[in-house]
């Protein structure tokens, strides 16, 4: 069986690398010989797990996701056929789900492939035009499109003849439309980055790409929070301007939207193929001529005075700046955006005070925020510039303990104090100043305990380890860990619901939780310092095994 599959693959490769396909590539300005050399190179680098976001590296993850999607779409299709749902309605739902999944996935994959082209640095001086390199890059994304399109549409396509109004020719037409939709979405997502590369400076491309990746999640979250109000506003606006809207046929709006999207896609893809390799070095390295401005931020002075001197301030500034600048950290942080949906949903329904007799969704917020803080600590162990960790070997032993306190201060002020300071005025407006202050203090105390637990999971210098290409940091928690957290959080929410019946009991619980958070944080700081020392000691031992001192 495997030999037959290999023979089929070899025959398909001979056909694709034949004169017919090569003539088509030449008509697009693509060099066929260099195109296939690049395809083989990307396949080899992906198999070696050396390309970020490579489809070869994520085959298992992609296939598991595709299998789950296939099961979900199959259940929907069987239910639709059983209850006599219209075939065209099922096709529309399946295509909508395909687009819903493909857009954020392709934006993420296109960003990882096009905006961080480390292999492009080695190829920039070779005689490879931008169209050839870009075509090879985009061809690798077809692997993902094929998996997701088949996963969401194969089962519904097979069952459409058995649905209400189904015909025998529907499966072929449906699959052709699904593949066309997937390819158009992939080209559109790649075209977005082509437009960005035309207008955004190379040194800002990484930040712009991460903003684009976050937009679908932000739009979905805002739609979930204010979807009804948005629909009502649109309806009111249309009723006020009905005389003008009625004069324009609906198909004209659809045609204008499709034409605009098509023009943007063509413009973006052409921008990618123009001078992509010339911009690769600037996108990876950024600028080296930026003048450093001397700053004396107020928070740095506070940390130096309260947490142990200049070494603490160094840890504070190092962590704060790396959280804002490190590419790997920000890339993995985007994967946690779906976790913000429950927090946003809880925030959207906090009209009831936690001190009221009825249950309030505010009880969920400390634990949802604490879980996000814990996951961020997991991600903070890995970074892009992990090779520069040797600089910390120059720090004295006494300085490492103060450095650890500065790292904790950065996480605490950024992830605990800042969110609660922003939410406090909102809570005061909804519940009153007294209830808001009591709940914010309790929530900050609980979140601090989650931070103390997360500090133990960094396992070394923050941002000082290479990302595991096979097992992401966010996956290290595992299903068992997620289940344990969910059970613990539910028990804590139930206890909170009882405790918040009495204000005196809330104040006493906050005091006890604050004492526990203080003791646990002190213990976690000691463990974190030992992990940093062990990490640096491992690096020192590795260097002595690699290099041997030669006497002169």
What whole-number distance in Å separates Cα of residue 440 and Cα of residue 36?
59
With beta carbons less than 8 A apart as the criterion, state whether 527 and 377 touch.
no
What's the farthest any 2 CA atoms get from each other in the chain?
92
Position 245 scores a pLDDT of 55
With beta carbons less than 8 A apart as the criterion, state whether 334 and 214 touch.
yes
Q: Which of 57, 53, 67 has the alpha carbon at shortest distance from 150?
A: 67
Q: Taking CA 137 as the corner, what is the angle to CA 133 and CA 143, rounded to the nearest 5 degrees?
A: 150
Residue 250, CA distances (Å) to 245, 253, 260 in order: 9, 5, 16
Which residues have a Cβ under 8 Å from the Cβ of 267 and sit 6 or more positions away?
Answer: 191, 194, 195, 198
Phi/psi at 86 (5° precision): -65, 140
What whole-number distance in Å separates Cα of residue 451 and Cα of residue 473?
17
Residue 75, SS3 per DSSP:
helix
Position 444 scores a pLDDT of 92
Residue 201, SS3 per DSSP:
coil
Burial class (CB in 10 A: 0-12, 13-18, 19+), 116: buried
pTM above 0.95, yes or no: no
What whole-number distance in Å separates Cα of residue 365 and Cα of residue 502?
19
Position 545 scores a pLDDT of 47
What whole-number distance in Å separates Cα of residue 178 and Cα of residue 99?
9
Kind and range of the H or E run holding 537:
helix 503-546
Number of alpha helices (DSSP H) and beta strands (DSSP E) in the chain: 21, 0
How many of the other CB atoms lie within 10 Å of CB of 495?
12
With beta carbons less than 8 A apart as the criterion, state whether 343 and 447 touch.
no
Phi/psi at 470 (5° precision): -90, -40
With beta carbons less than 8 A apart as the criterion, state whether 462 and 319 touch.
yes
Kind and range of the H or E run holding 407:
helix 397-412
What whole-number distance in Å separates Cα of residue 492 and Cα of residue 499?
10
Phi/psi at 194 (5° precision): -65, -40
With beta carbons less than 8 A apart as the criterion, state whether 51 and 57 touch.
yes
Number of residues written out for the chain: 552
Position 244 scores a pLDDT of 57
* Residue 253: both structure tokens together: 């709006």
Tokens 């003048």 found at: 291
Position 484 scores a pLDDT of 76
With beta carbons less than 8 A apart as the criterion, state whether 49 and 146 touch.
no
Residues 186-214: pLDDT tens digits?
888 888 887 887 777 777 777 777 778 77
Q: How far apart are the first and last CA of the chain?
A: 63
State which residues of the chain have pLDDT below 50.
Answer: 227, 288-290, 545-547
With beta carbons less than 8 A apart as the criterion, state whether 106 and 183 touch.
no
Residue 153, CA distances (Å) to 121, 343, 473 in order: 39, 32, 31
Position 259 scores a pLDDT of 78
Kind and range of the H or E run holding 119:
helix 118-123
Position 452 scores a pLDDT of 92
With beta carbons less than 8 A apart as the criterion, state whether 522 and 401 touch.
no
Which residues have a Cβ under 8 Å from the Cβ of 126 and sit 6 or more positions away?
Answer: none
The radius of gyration of the chain's CA atoms, rounded to the nearest angstrom, is 27
What whole-number distance in Å separates Cα of residue 430 and Cα of residue 305?
36
């Amino acid at each position: 069986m495997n030999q037959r599959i290999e023979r089929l693959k070899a025959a398909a490769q001979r056909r694709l690398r034949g004169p017919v396909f090569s003539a088509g590539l030449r008509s697009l300005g693509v060099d066929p010989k260099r195109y296939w050399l690049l395809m083989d190179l990307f396949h080899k680098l992906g198999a070696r797990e050396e390309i970020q976001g490579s489809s070869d590296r994520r085959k298992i993850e992609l296939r598991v996701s595709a299998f789950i999607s296939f099961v979900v779409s199959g259940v929907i299709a069987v239910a639709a056929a059983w209850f006599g749902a219209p075939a065209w309605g099922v096709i529309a739902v399946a295509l909508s789900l395909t687009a819903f999944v493909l857009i954020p996935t392709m934006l993420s994959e296109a960003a990882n492939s096009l905006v961080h082209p480390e292999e492009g640095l080695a190829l920039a001086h070779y005689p490879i035009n931008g169209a050839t390199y870009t075509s090879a890059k985009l061809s690798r994304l077809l692997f993902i499109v094929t998996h997701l399109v088949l996963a969401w549409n194969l089962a519904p396509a097979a069952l459409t003849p058995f649905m209400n109004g189904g015909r025998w020719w529907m499966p072929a037409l449906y699959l052709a439309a699904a593949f066309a939709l997937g390819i158009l979405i992939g080209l559109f997502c790649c075209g977005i980055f082509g437009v960005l590369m035309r207008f955004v400076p190379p040194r800002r491309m990484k930040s712009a790409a991460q903003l684009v990746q976050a937009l679908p999640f932000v739009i979905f979250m805002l739609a979930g929070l204010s979807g009804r109000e948005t629909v009502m506003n649109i309806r009111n606006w249309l009723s006020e301007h009905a005389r003008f809207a009625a004069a324009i046929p609906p198909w004209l709006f659809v045609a204008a939207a499709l034409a605009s999207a098509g023009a943007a896609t063509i413009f973006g893809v052409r921008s990618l193929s123009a001078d992509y390799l010339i911009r690769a070095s600037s996108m990876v390295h950024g600028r080296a001529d930026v003048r450093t401005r001397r700053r004396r931020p107020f928070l740095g002075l506070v940390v130096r005075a309260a947490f142990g001197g200049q070494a603490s301030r160094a840890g504070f500034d190092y962590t704060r700046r790396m959280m804002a600048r490190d590419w790997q950290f920000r890339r993995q942080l985007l994967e946690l955006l779906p976790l913000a949906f429950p927090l946003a949903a809880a925030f959207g329904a906090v009209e009831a005070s936690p001190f009221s007799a009825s249950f309030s969704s505010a009880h969920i917020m400390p634990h949802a925020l604490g879980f996000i803080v814990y996951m961020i600590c997991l991600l903070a162990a890995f970074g892009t510039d992990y090779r520069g960790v040797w600089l910390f070997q120059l720090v004295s032993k006494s300085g490492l303990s103060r450095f650890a306190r500065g790292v904790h201060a950065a996480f605490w002020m950024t992830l605990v104090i800042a969110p609660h300071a922003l939410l406090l005025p909102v809570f005061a407006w909804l519940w009153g100043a007294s209830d808001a202050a009591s709940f914010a203090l309790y929530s900050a105390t609980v979140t601090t305990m989650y931070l103390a637990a997360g500090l133990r999971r960094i396992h070394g210098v923050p941002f000082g380890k290479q990302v595991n290409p096979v097992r992401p940091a966010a996956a290290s928690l595992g299903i068992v860990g997620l289940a344990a957290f969910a059970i613990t959080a539910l028990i804590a929410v139930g206890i909170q619901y009882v405790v918040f019946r009495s204000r005196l009991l809330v104040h006493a619980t906050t005091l006890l939780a604050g004492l526990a958070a203080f003791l646990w944080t002190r213990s976690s700081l000691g463990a974190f310092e030992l992990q940093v020392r062990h990490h640096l000691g491992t690096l020192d031992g590795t260097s002595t095994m690699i290099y041997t001192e030669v006497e002169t």
